[in-house]
């Protein structure tokens, strides 16, 4: 069986147009690549600021993939389950690495290895999607279906969590059920952390973090989890 070629260098007209899920994906992946270049060589507060922008992009992006796109891939491709398990493993590792980085102080020598691994996994995830999964999806879906999926994925990404939640299921229904409460808590923290100088902002953000930890551990949030990504 011959594999269809990567979507990375194909024009938008071959991928369903600018509203297609494939074109929207490439735009986010390009943005991620820019952020990873910005991250290179940073330390301390500057590094944390870039990492927060990486988090805001990748967690909502990946969460919406897991809720909207991977179930479609599993339905339309005979080997969809294997293909999506591979990218779910990568998403799980990104969750674990960012959570670990948040616990690791600036002067800890392990930070460099954690960051290097994070950049490697994020780049591998993009390659798996653009070179393996999305070319196969393009073969199976017509332009209209790709645009419909693009709309659904973008809407879900806008209301998805923006921070790591390693114990949540990477598959429905757990991720779909916990997505909205975690999104509200994460975005509340984003808002508070941007105003960290205001009285009470740090304490309120810490409280929201504890609440998110409780949501993450509810049976509903873990429902649908598979051994490949279980924590």
Binding residues (CB under 5 A) for Fe ion: these are 25, 129
- Tell me how far apart the alpha carbons of residues 138 and 7 are, in angstroms, rounded to a whole number: 9
Nearer to Fe ion, 163 or 189 (CB): 163
Nearer to Fe ion, 91 or 189 (CB): 91
Closest distance to Fe ion from the beta carbon of 189 (Å): 24
Closest distance to Fe ion from the beta carbon of 25 (Å): 5
Place of tokens 């194909």: 10
Nearest to 25, CA basis, from 131, 171, 164: 131
Task: Give residue 36's Cα distance to chain centre.
Answer: 15
CB 199 within 8 A of CB 211: no
Closest distance to Fe ion from the beta carbon of 192 (Å): 28
Closest distance to Fe ion from the beta carbon of 26 (Å): 9
Using a 10 angstrom Cβ sphere, with 0-12 exposed, 13-18 middle and 19 or more buried, the burial of residue 183 is buried
Nearer to Fe ion, 51 or 134 (CB): 134
Nearer to Fe ion, 94 or 221 (CB): 94
Closest distance to Fe ion from the beta carbon of 167 (Å): 22
Nearer to Fe ion, 129 or 216 (CB): 129
Nearer to Fe ion, 55 or 129 (CB): 129
Closest distance to Fe ion from the beta carbon of 134 (Å): 8
């Amino acid at each position: 069986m011959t594999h269809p070629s990567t979507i990375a260098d194909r024009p938008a007209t071959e991928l369903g147009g600018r509203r297609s899920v494939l074109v929207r994906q490439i735009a986010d992946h390009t943005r991620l690549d820019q952020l990873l270049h910005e991250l290179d060589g940073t330390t301390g507060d500057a590094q944390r600021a870039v990492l927060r922008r990486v988090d805001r992009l990748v967690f909502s992006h990946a969460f919406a993939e897991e809720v909207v796109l991977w179930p479609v891939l599993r339905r339309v491709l005979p080997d969809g389950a294997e293909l999506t398990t591979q990218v779910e493993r990568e998403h799980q590792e990104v969750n674990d690495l960012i959570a670990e980085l948040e616990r690791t102080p600036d002067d800890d020598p392990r930070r460099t290895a954690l960051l290097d691994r994070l950049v490697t996994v994020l780049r591998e995830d993009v390659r798996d999607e653009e070179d393996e999964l999305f070319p196969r999806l393009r073969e199976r879906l017509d332009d209209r279906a790709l645009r419909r999926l693009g709309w659904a994925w973008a809407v879900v990404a806008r209301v998805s969590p923006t921070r790591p939640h390693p114990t949540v299921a990477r598959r429905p229904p757990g991720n779909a059920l916990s997505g909205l409460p975690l999104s509200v808590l994460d975005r509340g923290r984003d808002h508070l952390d941007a105003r960290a100088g205001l009285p009470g902002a740090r304490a309120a953000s810490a409280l929201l973090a504890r609440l998110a930890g409780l949501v993450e551990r509810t049976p509903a949030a873990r429902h649908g989890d598979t051994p490949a990504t279980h924590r």
